[in-house]
Amino acid sequence: MDTPTVSIDFTIIIIFKFSFIVLFPILYS
């Protein structure tokens, strides 16, 4: 296990998509 950056990138992508899905309806309304 010598690839922590891949896990960090994956977590950032998940957080980014989740926050976008949550914030999009709020900003759209």
Domain boundaries along the sequence of the chain = 1-29
What is the per-residue pLDDT across 1-29, written as a single tens digit (0 to 9) for each? 566 677 888 999 999 999 999 998 888 87
- In this predicted structure, what is the pLDDT of residue 19? 93
CA 5 to chain centre: 15
**Cα dihedral 7, 10, 16, 20 in deg (nearest 10):** -140
- In this predicted structure, what is the pLDDT of residue 1? 56
- In this predicted structure, what is the pLDDT of residue 17? 95
Cα separation of 13 and 24, whole Å? 16
Cα separation of 29 and 18, whole Å? 18
- In this predicted structure, what is the pLDDT of residue 29? 76
Q: 22: which 2 tokens?
A: 């949550």
Q: 23: which 2 tokens?
A: 């914030």
- In this predicted structure, what is the pLDDT of residue 16? 94
* Longest Cα separation, the chain: 44
